[in-house]
Structure 1
């Protein structure tokens, strides 16, 4: 059964496609369902709408990692580290650094 948060979030986004919080929520809902391809799509849209959304970079990197897309994951993690450090989001920076260091060379 799909995550019950998905359809309401899609309705919000139909009304306001620039709602970064809804894009993030949709991405996380897809992650909860194990649908990482859809999560990647939603989270990429989130950082397109709001390029400084630190947590979205971490969620996107996690989704890419789950899909085995390590080069993309490394790239998103590096960008996310820069952005989260500028935002002062120390926990996100630490999580991204940890994820990046866990990737195969």
Structure 2
């Protein structure tokens, strides 16, 4: 059964495609449904709209990891670490470092 948050978030985005919170929520809702392909698309759009949204980079990297798109995951981790460090988001930075260290060489 699809996450009940998906359709309302899509309606918000139809009205305001620059709503980074809605993009993030949509990505997380797709992740909850294990629809990592759609999650990755939504989260990529989220950071396109707001390039400083470090939590969105982390969720995007997690989705790419689940899809076994490891090179893309590494790239998003690197960018996310830069963004989260500049933002002072120490916990997000630590999460990125743990995810990156779990990736095969």
Q: Specify the TM-score bucket, using the shorter chain as the normaliser.
A: over 0.9
Distance 1:27 1:44 in 2: 9
Q: Which runs of 5+ in 2 are unaligned?
A: none
Task: State the superposition RMSD in angstroms.
Answer: 0.3
Normalised to the residue count of structure 2, the TM-score between the two structures is: 0.99
Q: CA deviation at 1:38?
A: 0.1
Report the Cα offset of residue 100 of structure 1.
0.4
Q: Is structure 2 residue 52 aligned with structure 1 residue 17?
A: no
What 5-or-longer segments of structure 1 have no aligned partner?
none
Count of residues paired in the alignment: 105
CA deviations 1:50-103 (Å, max 9, x no partner) are 000000000000000000000000000000000000000000000001000100
Q: Hey, which bits of structure 1, 4+ residues long, moved more than 2 A?
A: none
Match of 1:77 in 2: 77
Give the structure 2 partner of residue 50 of structure 1.
50
Cα deviations by residue, 1:18-61 (Å, 9 ceiling, x for unpaired)? 00000000000000000000000000000000000000000000
Q: 2:87 maps to which residue?
A: 87
- Is 1:61 the counterpart of 2:61? The answer is yes
TM-score scaled by length of structure 1: 0.99
